[in-house]
């Protein structure tokens, strides 16, 4: 099976490295200094696993013609510019591990709806001691946000599933808030023990002064809720706060 990984950043490199190590035929579309580094030094992973592999590195989309599977790993706000020069590529399946769901419509516009697979990246995140999920008030806020999003998902006929290493969404919206607080504490403790040094991509971007993927995630959900006449006050408040941070970073 041939894989085309669009984007040579953290997520693209992790996926490409594991696929290559498993013997798959992988091409990574990257650019500039990153492409040079991956070509010269290989793709090196450290952390839960430590290994280095080589993969085919392409810089010019015109070199590409077919792929069994195309995977988008670029930032959501770079989606259109990344897809535009790839519309000629014949793909059997395509999916994105970006945040949000707007990506699926964008992929469908480029490669046709039958080729698009819904996907989400299941990654661990950093949980600071005594904070984030361990804090009862923040755990309650996460519950409220999840339930507002669940209402939107129901109106869009999107089923909720539990991603236990990230968010047990279906269980969360079904349980009383107090029970979720305790479940959130256990989830946070497990994540902290497993990957104590990891930071979610949004936090990495914020710390480095980069633009956040807000419009394609929180913003998309808020706009869809407005179109359907749904009230999502907590989601809307978080969206406005994060959008302000993103504008400050950009």
Domain segments of the chain: what residues? 2-115, 125-198, 208-250
pLDDT(195) > 60: yes
- Does residue 131 register a pLDDT over 50? no
pLDDT at position 3 = 96
Q: Give the pairing type, strands 25-29 and 56-58.
A: parallel
The 8-class DSSP code of residue 187 comes to H
162-189 confidence digits (pLDDT tens): 765 556 667 666 666 566 666 666 676 6
Superfamily of chain region 2-115? NAD(P)-binding Rossmann-like Domain (3.40.50.720)
Predicted confidence at residue 128, as pLDDT, reads 30
54-68, 84-98, 112-126: lowest mean pLDDT where? 112-126
Instruction: State the pLDDT at residue 42.
Output: 87
What is the reported pTM?
Answer: 0.60
Q: Over 60: is that where the pLDDT of 102 sits?
A: yes
């Amino acid at each position: 099976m041939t894989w085309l990984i669009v984007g040579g950043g953290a997520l693209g490199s992790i996926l490409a490295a594991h696929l290559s190590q498993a013997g798959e035929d992988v091409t990574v579309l990257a650019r500039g200094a990153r492409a040079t580094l991956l070509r010269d030094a290989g793709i090196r992973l450290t952390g839960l696993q430590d290994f280095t592999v080589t993969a085919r590195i392409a810089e010019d989309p015109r070199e590409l013609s077919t792929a069994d599977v195309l995977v988008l790993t670029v930032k959501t706000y770079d989606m259109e510019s990344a897809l535009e020069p790839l519309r000629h590529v014949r793909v059997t399946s395509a999916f994105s591990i970006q945040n949000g769901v707007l990506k699926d419509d964008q992929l469908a516009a480029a490669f046709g709806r039958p080729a698009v697979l819904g996907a989400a990246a299941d990654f661990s995140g950093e949980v600071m001691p005594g904070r984030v999920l361990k804090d009862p008030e923040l755990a309650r806020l996460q519950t409220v946000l999840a339930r507002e999003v669940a209402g939107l998902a129901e109106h869009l006929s999107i089923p909720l599933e539990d991603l236990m290493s990230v968010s047990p969404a279906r269980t969360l919206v079904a349980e009383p808030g107090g029970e979720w607080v305790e479940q959130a504490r256990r989830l946070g403790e497990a994540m902290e023990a497993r990957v104590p040094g990891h930071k979610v991509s949004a936090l990495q971007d914020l710390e480095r002064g980069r633009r956040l993927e807000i419009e394609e995630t929180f913003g998309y959900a808020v706009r869809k809720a407005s179109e359907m006449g749904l009230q999502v006050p907590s989601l809307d408040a978080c969206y406005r706060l994060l959008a302000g941070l993103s504008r400050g970073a950009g």
